[in-house]
Structure 1
Amino acid sequence: MSEDTGEKVVELAKRRGYFFRSSSAYGGVGGFYTFGPQGAALKGNVEEAWRDRFAVGEGHMEIDAPTIMPEPVFEASGHLDTFDDMLVECPDCGESSRADHVVEDNTEYEDAESLPIPEVEEIVAEYELSCPECGAPLAGAAIEEFNLMFETQVGPGDGQPGYLRPETAQGIFVEFPRLKEYARGQLPFGVTQVGRAYRNEISPRRSIIRTREFTQAELELFVDPEGDGPDLSAVEDVPVRLYPASEQQADEGDEVETTVGEAVADGTIADPWVAYFLGVAREWYESVGVDMDRFRFRQHLAGERAHYAADCWDAEGEVGGNWIELAGFAHRGDYDLSKHQAHSDERFTVFRQYDEPKTVERAEVDPDMSYLGPEFGGDAGDVVSGLEELAERDRAAFEDETVTVEVDGESHEIPVEKTGFAVEERTESGEHVVPHVIEPSFGVDRLVYTILEHAYREDEVDSEERTYLEVDPEVAPTFVGVFPLQSDAELESEAEGIAASLRAEGLSVTYDDSGAIGRRYRRQDEVGTPFCVTVDYESREDGAVTLRERDSTDQVRLPIDDLPGTLSALREGDLEFGELSG
């Protein structure tokens, strides 16, 4: 699809109530959008479809955590130090832009985000790149790191520093000590969350594709690092189009058409859990209306991986001639849980039972607090923690008369005799392990846009141009429109009764008696309503109505009594419209 198609989709979205810029009465703020009646319904249906597949379908639990979290959470997670984008400020107009986007939009470099800042500065100078707003040259302008976190204060006055979450994941990680109890400490187990996240984007753009407030649907799967992988039998034959890092870096690299099973066997996808979710996601994206001819999985290059990711693949959809990220599938290792364990007073581990008890040697300390207390005062507790960690990591450090530990960058020497250091044998039935995390993270807003653009169609019906959205019935905002053929009290009463009965069946229904019947059909086609029911004067005689299908515009007569069951079967995919006319 062309950029022109994208402009048509955005215009349609605004006109028909899918999405539009927020607070436009006050000039609006970049990066914030309101989903209108159609968009909110489509978005809600997508979220429910995701829950059905990734939470209910996989047997995982769901939580709903706050969107504001205290500063220590993000100190531990690393977001305050590493959650940055490249900012370049125009020396003439002062407009800020993402430097990597300026490079990608105007050169052959596709993944400038993965490049170090000095190299991006060289590219800007070499290609004589200009400000996207005023056209002034950017060569020589400093490129700086800009943290994307939204800061706030919790409570009155100076309050407690807090941040709007940049991902829903941290709300799951910080609650792990309690969530593992609900899972009875049995690995693997998964926790899902669908909710808002916030990133103070430098230059939000392309409507709801890159915004400052957006919805994520995330699954955090906690697995034993030494445990068995997933059963791939359900997805091994799923066809996938992959764009591995090796192909991206090759001179004539290209996408690879393969299957999940083959990609695991030949090492293209290293982690079986990641491979499993790529297969599940590929089938799910197709079910909600993403065009598989415009869909692929791209592996992150080393320089663009998030600070926590051991490996990561993106699901990408092609819109407007460009590939955009729809989801990320990351192996986060034990980074998150280890960080929160180190920064908090909780244990972020699961007890792994041995098949048989083992006799092991353990190095331990039992410090003399009558010495450490007066000697180190308020730092005594941190010194003890340092001794415990050192004993576990490097028992040889206790072989001399003194041992050195660091607390907040300061070294302290302690007589070994005051540490109570000893190595003892003990019989253990198991051990505490920090689980690894597999994370499929889906962007909902971008998916909504992708569904709309992939569904956008133009054709001609009865010598009249028609625009319609071929939205999958499973997620369509409205499933059926009900019309009286003309303005007539009896027809209107009958049509309203049919609409009520279909709503009682659990179907999303719109009732419309305004204007010519052809115009009403066009309105519903344009918002993607799969079916329309028209009550006419013959309905009084034969007890039937006309059922029209959106894509083909074909029509059939159907008994009113059969309507709820037939439409429910069409929605569930148990019946094809062509079978009715056959």
Structure 2
Amino acid sequence: MTDDAERDADGRRLVELAKRRGFFLQSAGAYGGVSGFYTFGPQGAALKQAIEDTWRDRFTIQEGNMEVDAPTVMPEPVFEASGHLDGFDDMLVECPECGESHRADHVVEDNTDLEDAEALPVEEVEELIAEYELVCPNCGAGLAGQAVEDFNLMFETNIGPGSSDPGYLRPETAQGIFIEFPQLAEYARNQLPFGVTQIGRAYRNEISPRKSLLRVREFTQAELELFIDPEEDEPDLGPVEDVTAPFYPATEQEADDGDPYEATIREVVEEGVVGNPWIAYYLGLAKQWYDRIGVDMDRFRFRQHLPGELAHYSADCWDAEGEVDGDWIELGGFSYRSDYDLSKHDEHSDEDFTVFKQYDEPITTEKALVDPDMSYLGPEFGGAAQDVADALAALAERNPAAFEEAGEDGDVTVEVDGEEHDVPVSQTDFSVEEVTESGEHVTPHVVEPSLGIDRALYTVLDHTYRADEIDGEERTFLELPPEVAPTTVGVFPLMDRDGLGEKARAIARELREAGLSVTYDDAGAIGRRYRRQDEVGTPFCVTVDYTTIGEGRDDDEGEPGTVTVRERDTTAQRRIPVEDLAETLTALRDGDLSFDDL
């Protein structure tokens, strides 16, 4: 079997396991399914919640950030301001025979050696399709000569009856934070830096959803927006400075023999590989978090975006990537958004998206001021009068010499919407005055770690999938960290008679009351029950036998009142007193105790 065939087979086995054991399945299967939408089953919903909880613990609670939960539908002006209506596109090519639409860059990447066709201009992608004589993945018809067009990924809807108030499903959770910035800044007492997190659904109308959870139309994001003063705020790299990870900067990607290389967070900052220390700080946190939830660190790296890949709002961006089914996939993005978002919403809305920065001591300076005569500007410039007044104020602040050089009898020229307007200086009431200021208004910059929960979940399943042989029988299991496993412990009676079942059910109830996730199973041979729990990643199983209830034979191992605790990965077993069971399992789940220590 070829490497590609093996990877495809591994992917199919994982998807089959996910459906059979209740991790995830395509939605609306009774109606033929809907591409790009998935339902998380009982195991998947629990695993997803556990992954979200660990993210919240690391990026919200431990970092001292605030968390919000914004609506998934927002009005059109939000996305006009953010730039999503104009720049949130993918490249689409349509088959001339079957009419199927495809991501043009994916067609190129899947059939050539090029890895980053997304970063190329549309015209170049069209040329590559013709040069390589690429065909429709659906029917095999040639795509050469077909137009490649930009396709906006936003899901449009109407807010209220009719079509007078258009809205969109959010393509990212970030805008729900940005538009509430004025109020959030008040909650933070206008003290920078401060961070706001959110975990929630986002929607993108993908051209060709594929690879299960890796390319979908509805997904969950975990995002942090950190608001900083770019002139003063620097992170404390101490907690992450020794974290080591593979880095794949743009220079290495563009070099003929470039490869990722290992470095510490401190090294990539000091060497300028990661230009922004805040991004480096969050790369360090993310490395620790991905390791915590079960991502294989031998199949993990940080890759810098090439210039053509950068989002419209991003000054620099690094991706966390995991190797899945033979391909490197994006797990999360770490972007320096500068003041783009807040400036845009400040410009388009009626709110102030700045914070007031108090000086240590008041500062007295000379300041150029204008107070235009609106009784002159109104008749002279009509509807543009206020824009002209605003342009005069901006000119006075930027270049007061223009007024002084024109003189009292001269004109100054301002530009509004590309048109120049001459205004007599005498009508501007221009003056230079001494002004004492106690502070200034600052537009914060934004650092954004944005992580995909669904992709993290799929990657964890892929990276923890194992196969071995126990007592001559093949076994598959998920080596999930106990902290995120959907179920912490399976409780079994050796058989459901002689009071064993009643005792096992009582133990299961006590463990649930202690806050543990428990499944009870009395169906089939004990070995079969172990295998079922192994396959969904349950780290521990408890067996109630005759020794537990004080009716064991003299040659039985263990003391009365004890149960057998079995560990998933090694299948090793220990006998534990029932009275210590909840405390012991909790410590094992939380990493405060290792199984070898029992």
TM-score bucket of the superposed structures, by smaller chain: over 0.9
Measured after TM superposition, the shift of residue 406 of structure 1 is 4.5
- The one-letter amino acid paired with 1:554 is A
Q: Is 1:149 aligned to residue 154 of structure 2?
A: yes
* Range with greater deviation from structure 2 (316-325 or 227-236): 227-236
Q: Is 1:162 aligned to residue 134 of structure 2?
A: no
- Cα deviation code 1:200-228 (max 9, x no counterpart): 11111101111101000000001101013
Distance in 1 between residues matched to 2:153 and 2:394, nearest whole Å: 34
Matches within 5 A, 1:480-491: 480-488=489-497, 490-491=499-500
Matches within 5 A, 1:486-505: 486-488=495-497, 490-505=499-514
Q: State the match for 1:187 in structure 2.
A: 192
Structure 2 residue matching 1:482: 3-state secondary structure: strand
- The one-letter amino acid paired with 1:338 is S
Match of 1:208 among 203, 207, 213: 213
Measured after TM superposition, the shift of residue 3 of structure 1 is 2.4
Match of 2:574 among 556, 576, 581: 556
Distance in 1 between residues matched to 2:90 and 2:136, nearest whole Å: 17
Distance in 2 between residues matched to 1:25 and 1:387, nearest whole Å: 65
Q: Is 1:28 aligned to residue 46 of structure 2?
A: no
Q: State the match for 1:424 in structure 2.
A: 433
Q: Is 1:534 aligned to residue 539 of structure 2?
A: no
Distance in 2 between residues matched to 1:365 and 1:346, nearest whole Å: 23
Q: Is 1:454 aligned to residue 463 of structure 2?
A: yes
Matches within 5 A, 1:204-243: 204-243=209-248
**Unaligned regions of 5+ residues in structure 1, if any?**
none
- Cα deviation code 1:222-261 (max 9, x no counterpart): 1101013111111111111000000000011011111111
- The one-letter amino acid paired with 1:167 is E
Measured after TM superposition, the shift of residue 408 of structure 1 is 4.6
Structure 2 residue matching 1:231: 3-state secondary structure: coil
- The one-letter amino acid paired with 2:174 is A
* Range with greater deviation from structure 2 (383-392 or 138-147): 383-392
- Cα deviation code 1:87-142 (max 9, x no counterpart): 11111111111111111111111111111111111111111111111111111111
Match of 1:435 among 444, 455, 466: 444
Distance in 2 between residues matched to 1:385 and 1:158, nearest whole Å: 34
Distance in 2 between residues matched to 1:389 and 1:99, nearest whole Å: 45
Matches within 5 A, 1:57-456: 57-398=62-403, 399-400=405-406, 401-456=410-465
Structure 1 residue matching 2:549: 3-state secondary structure: helix
Distance in 1 between residues matched to 2:59 and 2:572, nearest whole Å: 35
- The one-letter amino acid paired with 2:513 is A
TM-score calculated relative to the size of structure 2: 0.94
- The one-letter amino acid paired with 1:77 is S
Q: State the match for 1:571 in structure 2.
A: 589
Distance in 1 between residues matched to 2:10 and 2:185, nearest whole Å: 48
Distance in 2 between residues matched to 1:524 and 1:475, nearest whole Å: 14
The alignment-based identity, stated in percent, is 70
Q: State the match for 2:478 in structure 1.
A: 469
* Range with greater deviation from structure 2 (363-372 or 512-521): 363-372
Measured after TM superposition, the shift of residue 360 of structure 1 is 2.2
Structure 2 residue matching 1:41: 3-state secondary structure: helix
Q: Is 1:479 aligned to residue 497 of structure 2?
A: no
Distance in 2 between residues matched to 1:18 and 1:419, nearest whole Å: 69
TM-score calculated relative to the size of structure 1: 0.97
Structure 1 residue matching 2:157: 3-state secondary structure: strand
Distance in 2 between residues matched to 1:561 and 1:396, nearest whole Å: 84
* Range with greater deviation from structure 2 (502-511 or 227-236): 227-236
Once superposed, what is the RMSD of the aligned Cα atoms? Answer: 1.5
* Range with greater deviation from structure 2 (281-290 or 414-423): 414-423
- Cα deviation code 1:33-64 (max 9, x no counterpart): 00011101000000010000000010000011
Structure 2 residue matching 1:125: 3-state secondary structure: helix
* Range with greater deviation from structure 2 (35-44 or 368-377): 368-377
- The one-letter amino acid paired with 1:563 is L
- The one-letter amino acid paired with 1:389 is A
Distance in 2 between residues matched to 1:299 and 1:282, nearest whole Å: 15
Match of 2:532 among 523, 526, 533: 523
**Unaligned regions of 5+ residues in structure 2, if any?**
1-5, 551-559
- The one-letter amino acid paired with 1:548 is R
Distance in 1 between residues matched to 2:402 and 2:526, nearest whole Å: 86
- The one-letter amino acid paired with 2:440 is E
